[in-house]
Structure 1
Amino acid sequence: MTMTAPVAGAVQPYRWRWPALFVILAAEVMDLLDALVTTIAAPTIQKDLGGSDSLVQWLGAGYTMAMAVGLITGGRLGDLYGRRRMFLVGATGFTAASLLCGVAMSPEMLVGSRVLQGLFGAVMIPQGLGLIKEMFPPEEMGKAFGMFGPVMTISSVGGPVLAGWLVDADFFGTGWRMIFLINLPIGLAAALAGLRFLPERRLSDATRLDLVGVLLVSVASVLLIYPLIQGRELDWPAWTFVSMAASAVVFALFGRYEARRSASGKDPLVTPSLFRKRAFTGGMVAGLAFFSGMIGLSLVFSLYTQLGLGYSPLKAGLTGLPQAIGGVVGFGLAMSGLREKLGRGLLQIGVVVMAAGAAVLGLTIHLAGLDVGPWQLAPGLLLVGVGMGLTMAPFFDIVLAGVEPRESGSASGTLTAVQQLGGALGTAVLGTLLFNLLKHQWSFGAAMQAAVWVEIGLLALTFALSFLLPRHPVPEQQAAH
C-alpha cells in the first residue's frame, strides 16, 4: 500500500482530467488491494501450493521490496519516456503479473510473479501522481488529491474482507487464485481508458537514470531481507549474518557513490544533502520503524487468527475489520483540522494511542487464551487503527517540512520507498519471530503476545525519534512555490 505526499504545481487544466483521474484511481486500487490480500490468503495458498513457512513471508515481502526499489526510479522513467507511456507499461505489466500469480503452480513461480507485480506497480503508481500535477490547475489540486483518501480508506477496509470472501467463495473452483485474477478486468479497463484519456507529456530536461545506484540499493535490500526470512528455516548458518553485515556495507557504498555522483554534477538517485538534515534522517528511521511494525503485525495477526484460532479466511478478514474502521476514524479526525493545529503532536498522540491499542490486544489474548472471540479482540484493534490513522495523516508532510523545496521530490520518493521497505522488513522480522517461537514449542497465543511487544517497542522508537521532526508541516501555499 503506497502513500505519497503530493507536491503542488501550476498547470493549465487538461480537458479530460476528471476521467483521467478515475483511471489513475483504478491503478491505485489494484496496488492497495494487492498489498493487503496475501496477508489473509497466505495460509490457504501455502496449504494448496506447499512450500515452507517462509512462503507466507515472501508473498508480502517480495511485493513490497520490489516496490520499494522500483519506486526510487519509477517517477524518473516517466520524465524520460513520457508518463502516459510508462503508466500503460506499468498497468499492462501489473495485469500480466497478476495473471501469472493466478495460474502459479509452484511457490517459486508465485513469489517471482509477486516480485514482478511490485516492479510494474512501481512503474505505474508514480506516473499517476505526476499526471495529476500536470493536468489540474492549483485551485483543483487539493480536490484531486483528496480523492485518494476515500479510495485508500475503502481499499484498506474492504481489501482483507474481499480477500477472505473470494477465497471462501471459491468461484469457478479458483479458490485463492481469484484474489489475483480479479485484477484482470480492472487492469485491462485502466489500460484501455488510459489510452483514451491520459495526456502524453515528457520533460525536456529529464535526467538519466542512475543505474549503478539502483543496483547498489537493490543488492543491499536483498542482502538484508533474504537472510532474515530464510535464516530461521536453515538454523541460522554463518552466511546469514555475513549477508546482513554485507548489507550495511553496501548501503554505505550506496551513500558514498551518491555523494560522489552529486559532487560531479550528475543527478543522483537520492539527494545526498537530505541525509545531513536531522529532521529527514530521523523521520526516515521513524518511518522504517513505524511501517515495519504496522505491516508485520498485520501479517502475524492474520496467521494467529487462521492457524492459531482456526478461523476461515473470511472470518479472519472480518475480525480485522475494527482496525480498518479505526484507521478511517483516525484519518478523518486528523483531516478535520487537528493535522494543521497539532502538527507533530498529532503524530505523537497517534503513536501513543496505537501502542495502547496493541497493549490492550496483547492483554486480551493473554487473558482469554484460545477461547478469545472477534468481539473481544475488537477494542484493541479499534484503538490500533485509530492511532494508525492519526499517525499516518501528518507523517509525510511533517517529515518533508524539514527539507528544502528543491529536495522535496527526492525526499518524497525516498520516504515512499522507505514505507515499502519497512513493510518488507516488518514481514521478515515479525514473521520470523512468530515462526521461530512456534518452532520452540511456544503456543500461538504466547507467540502473538511476543510479536505485540515487539510492535510496542517499534512504536516507542517511533515516538522517541519524532522529537527530531519539525513541529508543523509547511503551509500549502508555501509548498506550492
Structure 2
Amino acid sequence: MTALPTTGAPAVPAASPRAPWLLTVILTGQFMAILDVSIVNVASPVIRSDLGTSGSGLQMIISGYTIAYAMLLITGARLGGRHGGRRLFLYGLAAFTATSLACGLAVSAGQLIAFRLLQGAGAALMVPQVLSMIQTNFEGASRARALSLYATVISGAAVIGQVLGGVLVSADLFGSAWRPVFLVNVPIGVGLLVMGSRLLPADGPQRHRPLDLPGLVTLSLAVSLLVVPLVLGHEQDWPLWGWASMAASVALAGIFVLVERRASAPLVPARVLRAPGVVPAALAVFGVMATYGGFLFSLALHLQGALGDSPLRAGLTFIPGALTFAVASLNWRRIPERLRRRAVIASYGVAALGYAGLAVALSGDGHGQPLLAISQAVVGFGLGGAFSPVLTIALTHVAPEDAPDTSGLFVMVTQLGQVVGVATFGTLYLSGGSITGVDVALAVTTLVTGVCALPLLRR
C-alpha cells in the first residue's frame, strides 16, 4: 500500500501501468535541468566568439542559470507544497522549455544572460517536485528503486551533457553553431508537457499553509550571497566584494534560523530535522555532490587544458564513472538488509580509494590509462553506493505531508554541494595546484563525509 500524497490525490501504486510513465516524465525533466549546467560549458568558446562576449559576460551566461536555480529551489519546493507538485512541475517545465527556445534564438549576450536567469528560475520550480512526487507516490522497495533512478539521472546528466555538448557543437547543424545546446530542450519539453498533463497524478485539495515570506526572502538572499561569489570569484580574482558577500551570507543564515524559530509555518519544520537520519544524510549528500562536482570540473579542465583533449574526448573519458555510479545506485538493494547501512559507510572508503587512484594515474604527463578509467569506475561505484541509500534512509522517517519541505532541503543541499565543490576544487586546480593534489583533497574530503554519515548506522 502506498503513502497518500500531500495533495490529497490518490497515489500511483508501483504496480500501476502509469507508475513507469510517471517516473519517465519527472526524471526526464530532472535530467534536462541538470544537463543544462554542463552542456553549456562545452559550447562556451563558440558562444564567446559568435556573440563577442566579454569574460565576465560569458561567466554570467554559464553561471546565471546556476545562480537563479540554487537561489529559488526552496521557494519552488514550498510553492509545490502549497499549490500542488503536478501543477508546479508543469509550470516550471513550460517556463524551462520556453526560455530554452529563447536562449537558442538570442542575438546578444545581454539577451542570453537574461534568458539563462529565467531558465534557471523555471528549473527551480520544476526540480523540487521530482523528489516530492517520488516521496508521495511510492513507498518501500518501489520508492528505493525510484530514488536509485533519481540518483542515476543526477550523475549521468552531468556526464552526458559534456558529451552531447561536444557532439552538437562539432556538428554545427545548419550553421547554427552553439544554438542546438539550448534548442534540444524544446521538442523534449513539449513532449513532456503533453505526457505530463495526461499521466501525472492530479493535484487534489491543498493545505493552504502560509508562504513564510520572511523565511523565503532571508534564505534566498543567504543562498544567492553565497552562490554568486562562488561561481564568479575565480574569474574576477576573488575580489573584496565576494568575501563580503559570503560573510553576509553567513550572517543571513543566522538570521534565518532566528526567523524560522518564530514562524508559524517554517520552510523546514523542526520535525523534519528531528526525523532520524535527516541531518547526517543532508551532510552526506552535500559531501558526495561537492566531491563529485569538483571531480568532474577539475578533471575536465585538466583533460582539455594540460592534455589538450577535445570537449568530446574529454566528455567520453567520464563514461566509466557514470556507468558504475548507475550500476551501484540501481543494485544496492541486493545487499542483505542487515548489511546495507555498513555498506553505505564503506562506499565512502571505496570512493576515496578511487580518488587516490586518480592521483596516481595522473601523476605523470599523460592520461594514465588504463588506471584512469579503472579509478573513475571505482569512484563512481563508491559514490553510487552512497548517494541512493542515504536518500532512502533519510526519507524513511519523514511523514508524507512533509515531503515538499524535505524535497526542497535535499535538492538545495545537492545543488549547493555541486556549486561549493566546483568553486573549491576548481579554484585549487586553477590557482596552480596539480591535478594530483586535487585528487588527494577529494579523497580526504570523501573520508570526512563518510565520518559525517556514521550516525546513519543507528537504526
> What is the DSSP-based 3-state SS (H/G/I as helix, E as strand, rest coil) of the residue aligned with 1:206?
coil
Q: Which moved more, 1:243-252 or 1:326-335?
A: 326-335
Aligned residue in 1 for 2:312: 314
CA distance change for structure 1 residues 426 and 182 in 2, over 3 Å: closer, same or farther?
same
What is the distance in 2 between the residues matched to 1:288 and 1:256? Answer: 23
CA distance change for structure 1 residues 414 and 144 in 2, over 3 Å: closer, same or farther?
closer
Unaligned runs of 5+ in 2: none
Count of paired positions: 451
> What is the DSSP-based 3-state SS (H/G/I as helix, E as strand, rest coil) of the residue aligned with 1:343?
helix
Aligned residue in 2 for 1:384: 379
| 1:259-298 per-position Cα deviation (integer Å, ceiling 9, x unaligned) | 111xxxx211112355567954333333323211211221
Q: Report if the CA contact (8 A) 2:147-2:392 is conserved.
A: no
Aligned residue in 1 for 2:418: 423
Aligned residue in 1 for 2:35: 33
Aligned residue in 1 for 2:340: 343
- Residues 1:460 and 2:455 aligned together: no
Aligned residue in 2 for 1:17: 18
CA distance change for structure 1 residues 345 and 106 in 2, over 3 Å: closer, same or farther?
farther
What letter matches 1:458 in structure 2?
A: T
Structure 1 position 242, deviation (Å):
2.2
Give the CA RMSD over aligned residues: 3.4
CA distance change for structure 1 residues 299 and 246 in 2, over 3 Å: closer, same or farther?
same
Q: Report if the CA contact (8 A) 1:49-1:105 is conserved.
A: yes
Q: Aligned to 2:394, which of 387, 399, 404?
A: 399
Aligned residue in 1 for 2:437: 450
Q: Report if the CA contact (8 A) 1:17-1:135 is conserved.
A: no
For 1:77-156, list aligned pairs within 5 A: 77-105=79-107, 109-128=111-130, 130=132, 148=150, 155=157
Structure 1 position 316, deviation (Å):
1.0
What is the distance in 2 between the residues matched to 1:20 and 1:290? Answer: 27
What is the distance in 2 between the residues matched to 1:112 and 1:193? Answer: 29
Structure 1 position 386, deviation (Å):
1.0
Q: Report if the CA contact (8 A) 1:12-1:137 is conserved.
A: no
What letter matches 1:424 in structure 2?
A: V
What letter matches 1:17 in structure 2?
A: R
What is the distance in 1 between the residues matched to 2:4 and 2:305? Answer: 49
Q: Report if the CA contact (8 A) 1:92-1:191 is conserved.
A: yes
| 1:300-350 per-position Cα deviation (integer Å, ceiling 9, x unaligned) | 211211122111121111111111112123224413235x33233222211
Structure 1 position 185, deviation (Å):
0.3
Q: Report if the CA contact (8 A) 1:54-1:229 is conserved.
A: no
What is the distance in 1 between the residues matched to 2:391 and 2:210? Answer: 27
What letter matches 2:383 in structure 1?
A: M
What is the distance in 2 between the residues matched to 1:324 and 1:8? Answer: 32
CA distance change for structure 1 residues 365 and 402 in 2, over 3 Å: closer, same or farther?
same
Q: Which moved more, 1:316-325 or 1:18-27?
A: 18-27
Q: Report if the CA contact (8 A) 1:94-1:121 is conserved.
A: yes
CA distance change for structure 1 residues 281 and 81 in 2, over 3 Å: closer, same or farther?
closer
For 1:44-443, list aligned pairs within 5 A: 44-46=46-48, 49=51, 61-105=63-107, 109-128=111-130, 130=132, 148=150, 155=157, 158-261=160-263, 266-274=264-272, 279-337=277-335, 340-367=337-364, 369=365, 371-372=366-367, 375-400=370-395, 409-437=404-432
What is the distance in 1 between the residues matched to 2:322 and 2:252? Answer: 37
Structure 1 position 138, deviation (Å):
8.7
> What is the DSSP-based 3-state SS (H/G/I as helix, E as strand, rest coil) of the residue aligned with 2:363?
helix
What is the distance in 2 between the residues matched to 1:67 and 1:132? Answer: 21
| 1:95-154 per-position Cα deviation (integer Å, ceiling 9, x unaligned) | 122123323455554454333223212212344555567777999767766765776676
What letter matches 2:118 in structure 1?
A: L
CA distance change for structure 1 residues 57 and 275 in 2, over 3 Å: closer, same or farther?
farther
Aligned residue in 2 for 1:478: none
What is the distance in 2 between the residues matched to 1:383 and 1:55? Answer: 38
Unaligned runs of 5+ in 1: 1-6, 438-445, 473-481
CA distance change for structure 1 residues 123 and 233 in 2, over 3 Å: closer, same or farther?
closer
